Amino acid sequence: MVQTPFAHLRVLELASVLAGPQVGQFFAELGAEVLKIESPAGDVTRTWKTSAETSGAQATHDASVSAYFAASNWGKQSLVLDLTTAAGQAELLQLAAKADIVLASYKPGDAEKLRADYATLSAENPRLIYGHLTGYGPENARAGYDAVLQAEAGFMYLNAAGPGQPPQKMPVALIDLLAAHQLKEGLLTALFQRERTGRGALVQVSLLDSALASLANQAATYLVTGHDPQPLGSGHPSIVPYGTVYRAANGRQLVLAVGSDGQFRHLCAALGRPDWAIDARFQTNAARVAHRTELEALLTARIAEVNGDELLAKLEHRAVPAGAVRTVGEALAQHSAQVMLLPGASGVRAGLRTVAFRSPQWPAKAELSAPPPLNSGPHSPQKTLG
C-alpha cells in the first residue's frame, strides 16, 4: 500500500484559533501524527458557537467541540498541558524531543516565558522545525486579530459595495487562512532543506505580511500608478464584466467572469445581442472598463429578461466563465464538492478537508478521526507521541 506523504511525521500544535490549527490539520490529512497541546481552558474556539449549535437537535455531540473548532481540528489528538508550571514545561520538552514540527502562535516574548520557544525546544532536538505565527512580526508584541488585519491591510476598504460605502470584512477569517498557507509553504521549504542539511529551522510568518502579500494586483495598481484602488462592490477594477451579480427573470442570481474579447463576443451571442460585441464602446476590454456603467446597465436589463439557468447552460456550452450564486449549503451539496468532505464518525457530522490538491502517486488519508474533545486527564508523553 502506498503511504501518505507524511506518514512518519510528528507534529506538535501549540497554536490556537484558526491559522495554526489549519496547518495542523493539513499535515494530519497527509498522514502526520498531530498532537494538539491545549491549556487547561482549551482552544478558545471551542467556545465560539452559533445559536444554532446550542439549540435542540443541532447541538454538537460534545460540548467542547464547536463548529468553528471542528473547521481545523480533524485528525488530531488533544493533550492538556499547563505550560505555566514546571511539570507542563518538562513534558512539552520531552514531546518536542521526538517531534518534527512545532506550530506556535504566541505573541512575541510569550513563548520564552513558557519555555516553548524555538531556542529552548531545538536545543534538545536540532532537527526540529518550528513554525511561529504572529500578528505583526517577531519584534512587535501587538496581538493579531483577523478582522483588525482585514481593516489595516486594505481588504475591508476594497470590499465595500462602492465608493463612499461602509467597509466590510470578509465572511471568513481570510487573513488567518492566507497566513496558514504562507506557513505551510515555509514549513515545506524547511522540510526540504532538512533533507539536505539534517538541521531544523525557525519559520516565522506574520498575519500582516501574509495580508500585504495577498493584495496582489490591487497593491500593484497603487505601486504602478500612485492612485489608491477604489471599492467596486464585487466588480473588478480592470476587467468588465467580471464579478458583478445579476438577477435573471426566474430569480437566479449569477456572475460573469469575462476575461477576453472572444468570451465577450460569445456572451453577446448567448444574450441575443451580437451588436454589443461590435459597439466601439465594448469591443475591447479597455473600452469596456472605460464604459463600465453603460455596459453594466445593458447587461442588468437584458439578463433580467431571460431564464438564468438556461443562460448559464448556454454560456457553459460557449465556454464563457459564469456561475450561479449559491449558499454554503448548496455549494457543499454539489457533486463536485463531495471529494472535499470528510466522512463523519458515529454521531459526528462530516468535516471539510483543508487539502485541495491531489496526486495519483500518493494519497491523502481517506478518513480522519473527529475533532478531539477537551481531555484534561493524565497522559504519558512517551505513549502520546511516538
Active-site annotation, residues: 176
Please say whether the dihedral angle defined by the alpha carbons of residues 16, 18, 23 and 26, taken in this order, is positive or negative.
Answer: positive
CA–CA distance, 107 with 125 (Å, rounded to integer): 23
Strand pairing category for 351-352 and 341-342: antiparallel
**CA-CA distances (angstroms) from residue 206 to 12, 118, 146?**
20, 16, 11
Neighbours of 23 (CB within 10 A): 30
Half-sphere exposure of 371 (CA within 13 A, CB side): 29
d(CA 21, CA 230): 34
The sign one gets for the Cα dihedral 172, 173, 174, 180 is: negative
DSSP 234: B
Q: Which of 40, 210, 15 is nearest to 101 (CA)?
A: 15
Instruction: Give the helix ranges, DSSP H, for 103-206.
Output: 110-113, 118-122, 146-152, 155-158, 174-197
Q: If DSSP codes are grouped into helix, strand and coil, which group holds residue 131?
A: strand
Q: Return d(Cα 159, Cα 169) in angstroms, integer.
A: 7
Strands (E), the chain: 10-13, 33-38, 76-80, 101-104, 129-134, 201-206, 242-247, 253-257, 322-324, 341-342, 351-352
